[in-house]
Amino acid sequence: MSLLAESKRVAAEFEYVDDDVRKAVVEFIDEMNEGLEKNATLMSQIPTYVTAVPNGTEKGLYLAVDLGGTNFRVCSIQLHGDTTFSLTQSKVAIPKELMEAKTATELFSFLAKQIEIFLKTHHEDHFEKHIKRRMTASTPEGYRNLEYFKLGFTFSFPVHQVGINRGTLIRWTKGFNIADAVGQDVCVMLQREIDLLKLPVTVAALVNDTVGTLMARSYTSPGKTGTLLGAIFGTGTNGAYVEKLSKITKPMDGHFDESTGDMVVNTEWGSFDNNLKVLPNTPYDAILDKDSVNPGIQMFEKRISGMFLGEILRIALVEMVKKPEIPLFSDVNSSSNDYHSTTTIAESAALYKQWGVDSSILSIAEADNSVGLRVLRQEIEKSLGVSAPSIEDAQAVKEIAHAIGKRAARLAGVAIGAIVLQTGRLGSLTVQPPKPSSEIVSDIKSLHLQDAAAATVNKLADAALPLTGAPVSEDDVIDIGVDGSLVEFYPGFEDYMREALRAMEGIGAAGERRIRIGIAKDGSGVGAALIALVAARMEKPEDHVNELRKKLVEVEDAIEE
């Protein structure tokens, strides 16, 4: 078989057709609802105790910290109240030995120390003022909160959240391994170390990065209805959305403001369909999963996110290289190729190393449309460790990488579409065609519909309106905030997601046009600050971290006196 034919065959294995998309949406909605009804389901559907999204008018100075990977970030955010903000930040690599420290105290005291350094460097005034207050703090009113920074703690590990600033660690991931932290409240651990340093900081909110993204987007891009969903398509994938409180029927322990009737839910959709009822499963997906540290877990994430796409490509290419009849990376005739050299793969090449290939090669392959595929060929040399690849090799890599990336984006579309449908946001529709040119158009000029009827109207509207160009009323926009390397750097990721959305029953082309997708940078900073703000408004005297801190201070004051 020719290389071209074989690469087309492999690429076809990744095809994910409209019918598959529709089946997956139905299953996704089922699993979402199951997660709202009971615990220990595939999609965790974690209530975050955030019950409202911002509208851009929020003001104030907040602190945020972000622990979720190799770096620890500390930032202060000044919300200006006009949808803008200024951010000051510092970033420090987490020493490897702390990721596997003997006790959690070692890690959390390091984090508190970084907060102290940050405050001294960037907020000396505030810091000094606080210290002076502290020395006269033994007043009848007790400890004063006025000068305290409210801190939003973005902690992107699986947490069983039981309040806006309460949550116990379920397990570590991403190279962290500190046994005594599991089962402990991560906010309490951080607050304890902050208080030992006498810093003017209260851990006010515990935040998943998707929730931060939702809040950040809602602040910077306010519409009449607020942002519906915050989604990450980066190293991992996940989404948090605004759900009706009445739909969450499983028990919720913590206090929260019920007045909005809403609750932000962290879906943890990475584990959608771990049983592979509807997800595609090529031989390459199966190899990746079998050799992973968590076989059978995060099956949706393993087909979508940046941590895995490079590995799927690597496995597919290795399987091709193994076949002697397929001439991939085997150009032995140096006189006939334009590099005038023989294609070779060193034994130590990244192509042969598990997790050796970064997903960025997929974006590079997609972006290189030059005749000679020069950029991609250089990348194959650099990141696969194949020297002097031919044009045909690069074409094969491009074909397969494209198929993997497109499937990932269409799967991402499934999650977005399912949430749009689940929340019924398409239920009321105001179609505003620019110049009604047919009777149907004038008939549906302004329709307000409920769930089931919306599908019919979508079809009517599809028939009547051109794919692009028809303006969507601001009232009808469904706003979605996204972040992560795939949406940011993979060319056409959004287009493929949209293609999938158009294929869905109940969305169609008319519904898809109403979905506005925008990048929400810095969710872990500004988003966490916004949640700290919401938390401060909700704060109750019995708030447990506050209580804990007050007690600690009382004891210290007694000792000082």
By CB under 6 A, name the binding residues for ligand BGC.
Answer: 156, 158, 208-210, 232, 236, 238, 268, 270, 301
By C-beta, is 152 or 158 nearer to ligand BGC? 158
By C-beta, is 221 or 267 nearer to ligand BGC? 267
Sign of the torsion formed by the C-alpha atoms of 229, 66, 120 and 203:
positive
By C-beta, is 76 or 238 nearer to ligand BGC? 238
H helix runs in 305-390, sequence order = 306-321, 360-367, 374-379
Q: How far is the CB of 122 from ligand BGC (least distance, A)?
A: 27
Residue nearest to ligand BGC (CB): 236
Q: Report the candidate in 203, 205, 193 with the shortest Cα–Cα distance to residue 113.
A: 193
Q: How far is the CB of 237 from ligand BGC (least distance, A)?
A: 6
By C-beta, is 393 or 483 nearer to ligand BGC? 483
By CB atoms closer than 10 A (0-12, 13-18, 19+), residue 78 is middle
Q: How far is the CB of 299 from ligand BGC (least distance, A)?
A: 12
CA atoms within 13 A on the CB side of 443: 8
Q: How far is the CB of 358 from ligand BGC (least distance, A)?
A: 17
By C-beta, is 236 or 417 nearer to ligand BGC? 236
Q: How far is the CB of 527 from ligand BGC (least distance, A)?
A: 12
Q: How far is the CB of 228 from ligand BGC (least distance, A)?
A: 17
By C-beta, is 165 or 237 nearer to ligand BGC? 237
Cα–Cα dist 55/479, whole Å:
13
Rounded-to-10 torsion of CA 375, 377, 381, 384: 100
By C-beta, is 163 or 527 nearer to ligand BGC? 527
Cα–Cα dist 221/537, whole Å:
22
Chain centroid to CA 275: how far? 22
Count, residues in the chain: 561
Q: Is 450 strand, coil or helix?
A: coil
160: left (phi over 0), alpha (psi -120 to 50) or beta: beta
CA atoms within 13 A on the CB side of 541: 1
Cα–Cα dist 552/197, whole Å:
12
Q: How far is the CB of 301 from ligand BGC (least distance, A)?
A: 6
Cα–Cα dist 487/491, whole Å:
8
Q: How far is the CB of 210 from ligand BGC (least distance, A)?
A: 5
By C-beta, is 385 or 525 nearer to ligand BGC? 525
